[in-house]
Structure 1
Amino acid sequence: MAASAPTSTGESAHLWPPGTVRLEDMTSSAGKDIILEPRPSEDPNDPFNWSTTRKYINFGLVCLYVAMVAEFINASTPTWGPMNKELGYSFEILNDSYAVGCACLALGSVILIPFALKFGRRPLYIFSTALQFGLSIWSAKMETVADLMLINILQCLFGSLAEVIVQMTIADIFFVHQRGRANAIYVWVWLLSSYLGSLIAGFVAKGQGWRWIWWWNAIFFGIALLIVVFGYEETKYAPPIFGMVSETEKSPPSSALKHEEAEFGRKKPDLQTRTGSSQDIDPPKSIEAVENGALPNIDTVIINHSIPLKTYRQKLSIFTTTTPSAGIENNAFLSHMYQPLIILTTIPAVAYAALVYGILVGLGDVMSTTMSTYLVQPPYNFASDQVGLMSLPRVIGVTIGAAIIGPLSDWAVIYFSRRNKGIYDPESRLWCIVPFLLFVPAGALLFSIGLNNHLPWPVIAVGLALYNIGVTPINSVIITYLTDSYRDIIGDALVGVTVVRNSFSTAFIFALTPWEARVGLKWVFVTILLIACAILSLFGVFIRWGKAFRGQFAGRYQYYALRQYKER
């Protein structure tokens, strides 16, 4: 029977909402044993069963891809001055080219992520890297405004993958209690590469000319392409037809499962073929039973050695195709181009994550463009390498924030689950935002007032550092919260987040020149900052009622989860 239409009434009060899992066995001999969530299959080829070394090698290659894309997108700003002189591009045109890129970052994932869901992550990583290798050569030979705009359009369309597909990869290979650290590393790599790209590009532009920035990009993208082609393994898991479901997972469902079938319009086979998460495979457990000490069955992960390991050639297969769930075969691919927008507007946590991520990244992009425009003019008169050096305080801020939030976030998961009798609610991770909230307004105000009032450049540098100390942890936590809450639809959810994130940047940057002319630079920043503070303050709402929201909209989540490709 096909899934019924989603409702906002959600689930029964006796069912755990999506994202709530038992993370610790409080009755074990040690008293506190971590339970792996999602639960791995018995297949040795399952990415959850990979060794830690293999996981981090794979994740390291993903981070290499992220670093190259982030550098490419942001290395252009130190070239604005030289390009203005050599090619005659006005700063308004250069500003608009950046805004066009932001718009394409919003659009790209909507078009491309359905391919990652259908055919796997590997072909998208390879194709995007190859395309950006070609675009680097084109950038080095740029002559016209049409070149400038087309390069930005294509580069950002495919570069948008770095903002979504990486989160899908993290969800593919890391367990709940490991994702905070992994997402902190991702955010750190993205921001660090963005800022170091600008810094290094400034020196290259001064020492070798701005075109050599892109020749160096072509060299490094060529090397990265070879590494990805021969080193990156597919993390999308397509179970074999045998050994796919463990004996425990084949056990008859309880009466609670019958209730769940009636609630969401599902049959038992649909439930078994969806995901490795214990909350999806096991019969639903009442909150009252858990609170009274009745534990679900917790099985040791046993590898089925009758399932053959993939050969090196099989591991590097270009495509890993899966079929859609029963009843949606005819429109599954196209549905992933509009489902993200429906999920974005109907599931509160997705909408909130999009607003937080969008406003903070948008404000950061406004900082980048205003800095590139103002610092090359009196009274600063910075050369391109000096503009690049202003990325150094951002690098320091990002590194401090990431170094703190990675361990803190995963520690908080364990700490709060122990306080909650071993049960983990994703909202507990949001408490990690609190120590970093004040850094955002403090840094943005110091930067904007310093630039507006022509204060010494160290004031601007300190503002940049403080802002990034705050932004890095907040972005890391909010994306991890979303992944923990809605893993089964994380691809679609993050597409929606990316659309909003880049819509903020596009709107702000397109409006920046006339907006600033009308009210002044300081008040532009004050307005954006007030919007940011209003959005950030809502985190308390989700700490208090986030679990209730997940329960209320569980029906909608299950409906769209069943419309995903059968990856697990």
Structure 2
Amino acid sequence: MSSPQAGSDNTGINQLWPPGTVRLEANKDSKTLILQPPPSDDPNDPLNWPQWRKYLNMGLVCFYVAMVAEFINAPTPTWGPMNKELGYSFEILNDSYAAGCAALGVGSLILIPFALKFGRRPIYLFSTVVQFALSIWSAKMQTVADLMLINVIQCFFSSLAESIVQMTIADVFFVHERGRMNSLYVWVWLLSSYMGMLIAGFVAKGLGWRWVWWLNVIIFGITIFLVAFAYEETKYCPPPEATVPGQLPAVEEHKWGDPEIVTVNKLKRDGSAPGDTDIVSIPAAENMPAHGVTSIKINPNIPKKTYLQKLALTTITPPSGDSNDSFIRHMYQPLILLTTVPAIAYTALVYGILVGLGDVMSTLLSSYLTIAPYNFTSDQVGLMSLPRVIGVTIGAVIVGPLSDWWIVYYSRRRDGIYDPESRLWCVVPFILFVPAGALLFGFGLNNHMPWPVVAVGLVLYNIGVTPINSLSITYLTDSYTDVIGDALVGVTLIRNMFSTAFIFALEPWIHRVGIKYVLVTILLIACLILVGFGGFIRFGKGFRERTAARYQYYAARQYKTRA
């Protein structure tokens, strides 16, 4: 397949292609990746950071995600002790969880505009401080009002972990790395959710349920310190001296071994048109690929930031004089994009139904394993998180490297052209794990089958869910990078609407039809939605073509950074 050249620029992006379609290699015989998005020549550009610095940043983000996910899910094993000590009914406890889910949906709608305007760092830091204070409040909880307010406020700020992380990944990592990073994020989120339940169960039994929160106070205190003194801002605002790839600034050549990722300007000398200029980026010597590369060039006129500059509290996008920079606009743009861009709407449905079904399963475990015939204690309920940990880990270990390898391999067969839909082929092997696991779990719990049957259902379900969620988010990030903040706010809103509706309705619904038919109904909805992956593999590029003008319109209304 030959790719069109008209309208292509020297960043490997053809202006006539739909958003998300880029050139990853010069042609099918090339072994040199064209990094997308193209980094600038600025040494402070997060895309130009050395790999260790990128991974340190991502590690701190994952630690933040782990603590937030644990806080959301740790309460469920404490429901039994709280019921006995404070007299909270399980219906009230379910309602508190559902209220938190509603706050998860609304929170990012309000908070993400601050991350877009002022940077990721202050939002991560402020959110961590709030979680620290709420942990103290949780440890001193006495009334139903305390329970409800803690859940609502905590989940309101926790919603950031469901949207700002993908913004951070898009800030720092290239297209061919995002599959692994999003798989890592989903793995950490789910692993921490389940391990939080496991650890909380043992703590509640051994030390008392209030110590679950006193331990959170200690760990969130450590998290504040780490975020304050080690997490760097990833939002990139180019200085006036910075240039995009393809321009010819004053450059400085670096030898192999320089601990930076920098831009390579490989200019053809055979009379080729400017549009045929190869612009690639390569890592420092310790990460040098096996294939040939050229010299490394950066702009020496741009000074590197000092340690204190890297840890500035805010990174405010400079005003452009454009009325499109309205702060309030980012509080309703997500709703417009959600209802007018098919990929955003579909990702929201996939993420929503799978997370909602998972939340229902968590609630059922906490409510029904504590009564006959199981009569589990709080620590035994926590141990039922281990099957989920096993499933999540298997799914994440497979799908991250697989999807990043696959898109490079598949693009090479298509003359170096990458379409985000190619990543969705990796979803197919995992889809059947979802109904298999959910049915085994539901029938096992409904028919009072031995607990290992329920555990195997949890393993299978999570083997399927982890790859599907991570690939859906990565597909959305690759397709609509320049509006990913607004897009993920819409996804988070729908995701938590599913959880809120299911959990509020769960008790009366089960009383009316039983556990088995509740899960079968939700699973049928899930299967109808998952079938849509076939449609996006086949028609997704056409959807992106038809929404290209809308995407460009809203991309232009973002705060002006790299885009």
CA distance in 1, matches of 2:165, 2:471: 15
Q: Is 1:325–1:564's contact at 8 Å kept on the other side of the alignment?
A: no
Residue from 275, 299, 302 that aligns with 1:304: 299
Q: Is 1:164–1:495's contact at 8 Å kept on the other side of the alignment?
A: yes
Residue 530 (structure 1) aligned with residue 524 (structure 2): yes
CA distance in 2, matches of 1:164, 1:534: 25
Alignment of 1:222-237 (within 5 A): 222-237=221-236
Residue 88 (structure 1) aligned with residue 68 (structure 2): no
Relative contact order (alpha carbons < 8 A, sep ≥ 6): 1 or 2 greater? 1
Residue matched to 1:492: 486
Residue 393 (structure 1) aligned with residue 387 (structure 2): yes
CA distance in 2, matches of 1:342, 1:72: 31
Residue matched to 1:368: 362
SS state at 2:16 partner: coil
Residue matched to 1:106: 105
Residue matched to 1:377: 371
CA distance in 1, matches of 2:239, 2:515: 59
Residue matched to 1:217: 216
SS state at 1:25 partner: coil
Alignment of 1:124-273 (within 5 A): 124-245=123-244, 248=247
Residue matched to 1:334: 328
**Letter in structure 1 aligned against 2:91:** E
CA distance in 2, matches of 1:249, 1:133: 49
Q: 1:70 to 1:62 in 2, by over 3 A?
A: same
Backbone CA RMSD of aligned residues: 1.9
SS state at 2:233 partner: coil
Alignment of 1:395-474 (within 5 A): 395-474=389-468
**Letter in structure 2 aligned against 1:412:** W
Cα distance, 1:294 vs. partner?
11
Residue matched to 1:58: 57
- TM-score w.r.t. the length of structure 1 is 0.88
Q: Is 2:132–2:217's contact at 8 Å kept on the other side of the alignment?
A: yes
CA distance in 1, matches of 2:274, 2:540: 25
Of 18-27 and 109-118, deviating more is 18-27
Cα distance, 1:132 vs. partner?
0.3
CA distance in 2, matches of 1:162, 1:101: 14
CA distance in 1, matches of 2:472, 2:485: 15
CA distance in 2, matches of 1:470, 1:557: 31
Task: Give the aligned length.
Answer: 514
**Letter in structure 1 aligned against 2:346:** Y
**Letter in structure 1 aligned against 2:557:** R
**1:301-331 deviations in Å (ceiling 9; x for gaps):** 53111100000000000000004555325x6
**1:55-95 deviations in Å (ceiling 9; x for gaps):** 00000000000000000000000000000000000000000
CA distance in 2, matches of 1:189, 1:108: 21
Cα distance, 1:245 vs. partner?
4.0
CA distance in 1, matches of 2:35, 2:15: 23
CA distance in 2, matches of 1:333, 1:448: 46
CA distance in 2, matches of 1:26, 1:492: 34
Residue matched to 2:43: 44
**1:220-270 deviations in Å (ceiling 9; x for gaps):** 0000110110000000001112224456289xxxxxxxxxxxxxxxxxxxx
CA distance in 1, matches of 2:248, 2:148: 53
Residue matched to 1:316: 311
Residue 343 (structure 1) aligned with residue 344 (structure 2): no
- TM-score w.r.t. the length of structure 2 is 0.89
**Letter in structure 2 aligned against 1:462:** V
Cα distance, 1:300 vs. partner?
4.5
Cα distance, 1:297 vs. partner?
2.6
CA distance in 1, matches of 2:131, 2:468: 29
Q: Is 2:39–2:244's contact at 8 Å kept on the other side of the alignment?
A: no
Residue 503 (structure 1) aligned with residue 502 (structure 2): no
Q: Is 2:246–2:277's contact at 8 Å kept on the other side of the alignment?
A: no
Q: Is 2:246–2:279's contact at 8 Å kept on the other side of the alignment?
A: no
Cα distance, 1:32 vs. partner?
2.2
CA distance in 2, matches of 1:14, 1:321: 29
CA distance in 2, matches of 1:564, 1:514: 44
Of 294-303 and 489-498, deviating more is 294-303
Q: 1:117 to 1:88 in 2, by over 3 A?
A: same
**Letter in structure 1 aligned against 2:102:** A
**Letter in structure 1 aligned against 2:336:** I
Residue matched to 1:70: 69
Q: Is 2:35–2:280's contact at 8 Å kept on the other side of the alignment?
A: no
Q: Is 2:34–2:279's contact at 8 Å kept on the other side of the alignment?
A: no
**Letter in structure 2 aligned against 1:551:** E
**1:101-125 deviations in Å (ceiling 9; x for gaps):** 0000000000000000000000000
Of 511-520 and 142-151, deviating more is 511-520
CA distance in 1, matches of 2:299, 2:84: 65
**Letter in structure 1 aligned against 2:555:** A
**Letter in structure 1 aligned against 2:560:** K
CA distance in 2, matches of 1:243, 1:181: 29
Cα distance, 1:53 vs. partner?
0.4
Q: Is 2:241–2:301's contact at 8 Å kept on the other side of the alignment?
A: no
**1:503-536 deviations in Å (ceiling 9; x for gaps):** 0000000011111111111100000000000000
**Letter in structure 1 aligned against 2:533:** F
CA distance in 1, matches of 2:25, 2:274: 13
Residue matched to 2:27: 26
- Percent identity reads 72
SS state at 1:43 partner: coil
Q: Is 1:409–1:429's contact at 8 Å kept on the other side of the alignment?
A: yes
SS state at 1:299 partner: strand
CA distance in 2, matches of 1:70, 1:300: 38
